[in-house]
Chain A
């Protein structure tokens, strides 16, 4: 190895010597230039090995590099040996395509990346001239990369230079800012330019700036507090129902944010119904709650809701989005079974660790035991492995199937090691889906191995903690995996579910996307997520207890109305975040207000949308309001964005209008009843909005009804219902 270093030194002095007739370039490197140490960072920094360019699996115009340089051998061979050696010409470095293409001297699809004579150009030139040496295997390796500073408070519209420092195995440090790539997780709060210059925008908030040098990542947290002083007193005085409040209030001073006041009673009541069980309160329920003067009425309300049958359907539906397959893939009976298993699990409030174990280690018939169906849907170890790691651990290993994960530590070894837990899943029977919904038996085989996608070698199961396991034929690898996942020490398992539940109740996850937990995607409130996860674990993974705890917090009960001191806060829960109702919730709400029923194919009469066992049963309404595309594979995360066709559908759908004007529907019934106009208006407001009308609203509605003659009173009531159902207050959870 000494020799190659020596060679490098000679090469370096050669580089110093001739070539430049004019002024010596200031950028001539001071040390021997080698491939892994110097050249690969340049390829990464200029995007040469990025996904859109030569880093994609088929390369670009015949030149392929490994994505972000995770495979040095491959990249070296690609540069030196392919294209008849024209990429790197030690005899005439300037004519190497490695230089002439990015410097714009030869046509280059990626355009000009740097100037002739610039530091990267000179670095590459020196390397080629030196005979394109590899970095010696025993050269110091990067131990970690850090940012300086590690965190920073900024005012609006300010900037600073972020530096990236690599620390090496020999204790040396090197400033690698030049070769690093940067990314901000919230560019409106703070953006970062290519050279590591961070600039805050106009909005207060927090942004994580990720710096990547080769395959190492460091994160710098930038905080932009709202200008103006908030006395500590203001935070001390905030109410605390439980430690959730404590931890949310703890975060707010860092940003200079103050929470909104509490929502009013009726808003809280409606929110609690929609968030806990996905249905509107009845007028009687609302009135009883509003009339109740006892101090513990909220706690009692939440307890009542958690015992309602709708609870199971509502929460099972969220899991159905995540794992329930397309019946065309696995057969109708199997999907039905899985759906029933999900609903039953939530009905029984099955502890979450048991729920996960029953799924991951499922054995038996897809016709008898619903949990087995996920293996019929994803028979391949690689598929189910990626799915389980995302669902239960919030780790997106999928990228690492083909290449080193671009934002994380996961390698292909991790990916295949995790998938290897599923290498012994046996399948028996069950014609290929979906030709028949035949019965399939899922079992654990005595033997079975998974091959590494790149090396082809047999892979032993390996947890994400990095431990390879040797398992005997009597050990069921999936049980071993379930043990590891549900162990109290597992850093991911409880957190992901706590984040999912938080996100459903609060309208926004502590981590977003909810199943993407990694160092480079930090939670908006890490201590809070940890506390929720710890508590969930301590309570025996009891989901209802987790829901109850969150709903009892003062934070859950805040108003959505922003104040001057929190208007731009979208992730610290200083106010409640409005959302549109999910498709099924909204359809059930429409029917509840109108006193009508929906009739779904493949469902018993009188079924609610929340009870549907598949997205494949036709419903124009549900499709319009964004239930998952039934043709898409799970997991299907929903966005409750509103669209123009939704608004059009509520206004003009002939089916909805027919329903509105049915003889048996509530408008006609009310119009024909002995109820006064005032009673009708009140009932409608309680039904649709879960509150009484204000005096203005009452006057407007009464004036509308008073203009109707006896003959067209029914029409007037229908129009009133139509108007209310078409307002956002009806379909937004406030």
Chain B
């Protein structure tokens, strides 16, 4: 078991995560019926790419610099102009500043969960944890946004509806929605020439002919009796449906095309950058083109208790170039109007630069009283800043919003009613979002 080191903020679960599926009422017949309903897509074309910066990126070093604050708060970097009148970004966000007329920065989402476990949960599900949890916790008390979108919107073209690349966020699971709404995790590196999406293609060692003959042999040997009457609730009929769907994904031109990043022209691949994260972002865009409604791009290592300034010079710049390319690329293809791009982590960082952590190099600690969230596309006004923190970046002071409002915004943009009631496994009614009011400035 890989032991999670506290505050490293990296998730070790790079797998297709299928948690418990507690269906209301239970029973095989219910499961079969539900499955057939879930297969029907509502036909909406909006999608969301959530870039999750796990650990909690500093708002000072990204989109909310405080040049007038004392040195121990403002840090090493200078503010730079953006295309939004009067708004400044930190100097390493150059590419994003250049396309800032395509996006909105929200500076006033805040909450009170100052640790990774609870902050992750709150921001990715819209619900606070039911009981206090700590930094190292990986908890799930409520379905994640991606799982809800999967349940509400269904899957297109034989593709799963919810992807997580390259791993699931800590609270990114389906909870009571059931295993089929767990994210389909693409853990392999799309920057490798040998990249393939796991399990949806025959293993590389097998030539096509052998795979086909295996399937043929299987169909001839598969003699188990089927109880055809649906009233009998035979799980083997469910398996047959799954098998057909599996083969259809393997044979689906749309699915295989979406996964085949090698079809992308060289100059596009280069524009996204020949890095793992760059190619992951490109893969996410291809999945959106294939009709996938929700993709999490998980990016760890934003828990800068130490060494924050060098980190933002390198990691910060690399990341922002990819995100800027992604937004630009979507816009050029006319996809930005139907694709919601989100960039956030679980919280912001402390104003006071600290040297608490090992090494004693400057860093900032957890700070949920203020954070910056980037939102673009899907009808989000282009080129604005919503809300503000105080002069020293301690607290959101204008147009204060809660994680609930943020998550409600995402659902509303994706055509899902955030005021909906879901039924947990024990029949208990649960609000999708307890405060379903979206952030007005983003609508």
Which listed residue, A203, A624, A641, A723, touches B218 by the CB 8 Å rule?
A: A723
- Check: A679 CB closer than 8 A to any chain B CB: no
Q: Size class of A's contact patch? A: 35 or more
Asked if residues A568 and B232 are in contact (CB atoms below 8 Å), the reply is yes
- Check: A383 CB closer than 8 A to any chain B CB: yes
Segment 243-288 of B: residues with Cβ below 8 Å from A: 243, 245-246, 249-250
- Contact A56 B431, CB 8 Å, known A632-B173, A728-B224: yes
Which residue from chain B places its CB closest to the CB of A601 in the assembled complex?
B1
A726–B245 alpha-carbon span in the complex (Å): 15
- Check: B15 CB closer than 8 A to any chain A CB: yes
A626–B4 alpha-carbon span in the complex (Å): 22
Asked if residues B140 and A647 are in contact (CB atoms below 8 Å), the reply is no
- Contact A639 B21, CB 8 Å, known A720-B217, A732-B224: yes
Asked if residues A729 and B214 are in contact (CB atoms below 8 Å), the reply is no
Nearest CB of A to B101, in Å = 37
CB 8 Å contact bits of A701-727 with B (1 = contact, 0 = none): 100100000000001000110111011
Asked if residues B29 and A722 are in contact (CB atoms below 8 Å), the reply is no
- Contact A625 B217, CB 8 Å, known A203-B231, A696-B223, A727-B222: no
Which residues of A sit under 8 angstroms from B425, Cβ to Cβ?
Answer: 513, 637
Segment 406-443 of B: residues with Cβ below 8 Å from A: 421, 425-429, 431, 434-435
Which residues of B sit under 8 angstroms from A562, Cβ to Cβ?
Answer: 227, 229, 232
Which residues of A sit under 8 angstroms from B229, Cβ to Cβ?
Answer: 562, 567-568
Asked if residues B173 and A631 are in contact (CB atoms below 8 Å), the reply is yes
Tally of A-B residue pairs with Cβ under 8 A? 252
Which residues of A sit under 8 angstroms from B218, Cβ to Cβ?
Answer: 722-723, 726-727
Which residues of A sit under 8 angstroms from B29, Cβ to Cβ?
Answer: 188, 570
Nearest CB of A to B216, in Å = 9
Nearest CB of B to A683, in Å = 15
- Contact A616 B1, CB 8 Å, known A570-B233, A624-B16, A628-B19: yes
- Check: A310 CB closer than 8 A to any chain B CB: no
A326–B141 alpha-carbon span in the complex (Å): 13
Nearest CB of A to B245, in Å = 5
Which of A27-35, A173-181, A410-418, A430-438 is the contact stretch?
Answer: A430-438
CB 8 Å contact bits of A397-411 with B (1 = contact, 0 = none): 011000000010000
Asked if residues A326 and B20 are in contact (CB atoms below 8 Å), the reply is no
The A interface is mostly helix, strand or loop, or mixed, namely loop
Segment 28-53 of B: residues with Cβ below 8 Å from A: 28-29, 31, 35
- Check: B199 CB closer than 8 A to any chain A CB: yes
A633–B4 alpha-carbon span in the complex (Å): 18
CB 8 Å contact bits of A249-262 with B (1 = contact, 0 = none): 00000000000000
- Check: A516 CB closer than 8 A to any chain B CB: yes
Asked if residues B134 and A432 are in contact (CB atoms below 8 Å), the reply is yes
Which residue from chain A places its CB closest to the CB of B21 in the assembled complex?
A639
Which listed residue, B2, B16, B17, B421, touches A51 by the CB 8 Å rule?
A: B421
Asked if residues A626 and B18 are in contact (CB atoms below 8 Å), the reply is yes
Which residues of A sit under 8 angstroms from B77, Cβ to Cβ?
Answer: none
Asked if residues A618 and B13 are in contact (CB atoms below 8 Å), the reply is yes
Asked if residues B141 and A651 are in contact (CB atoms below 8 Å), the reply is no
- Check: B210 CB closer than 8 A to any chain A CB: yes
Asked if residues A700 and B235 are in contact (CB atoms below 8 Å), the reply is no
A58–B437 alpha-carbon span in the complex (Å): 14
- Contact A512 B26, CB 8 Å, known A383-B131, A625-B18: yes
Which listed residue, B160, B220, B236, B426, touches A513 by the CB 8 Å rule?
A: B426
- Check: A22 CB closer than 8 A to any chain B CB: no
Which residues of A sit under 8 angstroms from B136, Cβ to Cβ?
Answer: 328, 434-435
Which residue from chain B places its CB closest to the CB of A700 in the assembled complex?
B220
Which residues of B sit under 8 angstroms from A727, Cβ to Cβ?
Answer: 218, 221-224
A363–B310 alpha-carbon span in the complex (Å): 50
Asked if residues A630 and B138 are in contact (CB atoms below 8 Å), the reply is yes
- Check: A620 CB closer than 8 A to any chain B CB: yes
- Check: A95 CB closer than 8 A to any chain B CB: no
Asked if residues A643 and B179 are in contact (CB atoms below 8 Å), the reply is yes
- Check: B213 CB closer than 8 A to any chain A CB: yes
- Contact A629 B175, CB 8 Å, known A618-B2, A623-B18, A694-B223: yes
Asked if residues A434 and B220 are in contact (CB atoms below 8 Å), the reply is no
Which residue from chain B places its CB closest to the CB of A652 in the assembled complex?
B199
Which residue from chain A places its CB closest to the CB of B426 in the assembled complex?
A396
Which residues of A sit under 8 angstroms from B27, Cβ to Cβ?
Answer: 512, 570
- Contact A652 B200, CB 8 Å, known A601-B2, A631-B173, A723-B218: yes
A380–B81 alpha-carbon span in the complex (Å): 51
A140–B16 alpha-carbon span in the complex (Å): 60
Which residues of A sit under 8 angstroms from B114, Cβ to Cβ?
Answer: none
**How many chain B residues have a CB neighbour from A under 8 Å?**
92
Asked if residues A433 and B28 are in contact (CB atoms below 8 Å), the reply is no
Which listed residue, A646, A701, A734, touches B224 by the CB 8 Å rule?
A: A734
Asked if residues A399 and B134 are in contact (CB atoms below 8 Å), the reply is no
Which residues of B sit under 8 angstroms from A577, Cβ to Cβ?
Answer: 28, 233
- Check: A648 CB closer than 8 A to any chain B CB: yes
Nearest CB of A to B148, in Å = 15
Asked if residues B20 and A728 are in contact (CB atoms below 8 Å), the reply is no
Segment 158-213 of B: residues with Cβ below 8 Å from A: 160, 170-171, 173-175, 178-180, 182, 184, 198-206, 210, 213
Asked if residues B4 and A328 are in contact (CB atoms below 8 Å), the reply is yes
- Check: B374 CB closer than 8 A to any chain A CB: no
Asked if residues B173 and A642 are in contact (CB atoms below 8 Å), the reply is no
Which residue from chain A places its CB closest to the CB of B220 in the assembled complex?
A700
Which residue from chain B places its CB closest to the CB of A183 in the assembled complex?
B427
A570–B220 alpha-carbon span in the complex (Å): 30
- Check: A307 CB closer than 8 A to any chain B CB: no
- Check: B234 CB closer than 8 A to any chain A CB: yes
Which residues of B sit under 8 angstroms from A52, Cβ to Cβ?
Answer: 421, 429, 431
Which listed residue, B31, B231, B431, touches A641 by the CB 8 Å rule?
A: B31
Asked if residues A647 and B246 are in contact (CB atoms below 8 Å), the reply is yes
CB 8 Å contact bits of A568-580 with B (1 = contact, 0 = none): 1010000001111
Asked if residues B204 and A654 are in contact (CB atoms below 8 Å), the reply is yes
- Contact A646 B242, CB 8 Å, known A626-B179, A653-B199: yes
Nearest CB of B to A402, in Å = 11
Asked if residues A642 and B235 are in contact (CB atoms below 8 Å), the reply is yes
A87–B200 alpha-carbon span in the complex (Å): 59
A567–B229 alpha-carbon span in the complex (Å): 7
A690–B429 alpha-carbon span in the complex (Å): 44
Which residues of B sit under 8 angstroms from A568, Cβ to Cβ?
Answer: 229, 231-232
A646–B131 alpha-carbon span in the complex (Å): 32
Asked if residues A653 and B1 are in contact (CB atoms below 8 Å), the reply is no
Which residues of A sit under 8 angstroms from B220, Cβ to Cβ?
Answer: 700
Nearest CB of B to A88, in Å = 26
- Check: B6 CB closer than 8 A to any chain A CB: yes
Asked if residues A328 and B12 are in contact (CB atoms below 8 Å), the reply is no
Which listed residue, B3, B160, B174, B221, touches A697 by the CB 8 Å rule?
A: B221
Asked if residues A729 and B18 are in contact (CB atoms below 8 Å), the reply is no
- Check: A469 CB closer than 8 A to any chain B CB: no
Asked if residues B1 and A614 are in contact (CB atoms below 8 Å), the reply is yes
- Check: B395 CB closer than 8 A to any chain A CB: no
Which residues of B sit under 8 angstroms from A653, Cβ to Cβ?
Answer: 198-199, 203
Asked if residues A633 and B222 are in contact (CB atoms below 8 Å), the reply is no
- Check: B137 CB closer than 8 A to any chain A CB: yes
- Check: A16 CB closer than 8 A to any chain B CB: no
A625–B238 alpha-carbon span in the complex (Å): 14
Jot down 14 A-B pairs with beta carbons below 8 A, ordered by A: A570-B29, A577-B233, A578-B236, A602-B1, A623-B18, A626-B21, A633-B131, A638-B20, A646-B242, A647-B246, A649-B199, A701-B221, A719-B217, A720-B217
A-to-B contact residues, CB < 8 Å? 51-52, 56, 58, 188, 203, 326, 328-329, 332, 380, 383, 396, 398-399, 407, 432-435, 512-513, 516, 560-562, 567-568, 570, 577-580, 600-602, 614, 616-620, 623-626, 628-633, 636-649, 651-654, 657, 661, 694, 696-697, 700-701, 704, 715, 719-720, 722-724, 726-729, 732, 734
Taking A435-B135, A626-B18 as known contacts, 7 extra A-B pairs with beta carbons closer than 8 A to each other, sorted by chain A number, are A562-B229, A623-B17, A641-B21, A641-B178, A643-B179, A643-B242, A648-B250
The 5 closest A-B pairs by CB, nearest first: A629-B19, A602-B1, A568-B231, A723-B218, A631-B138
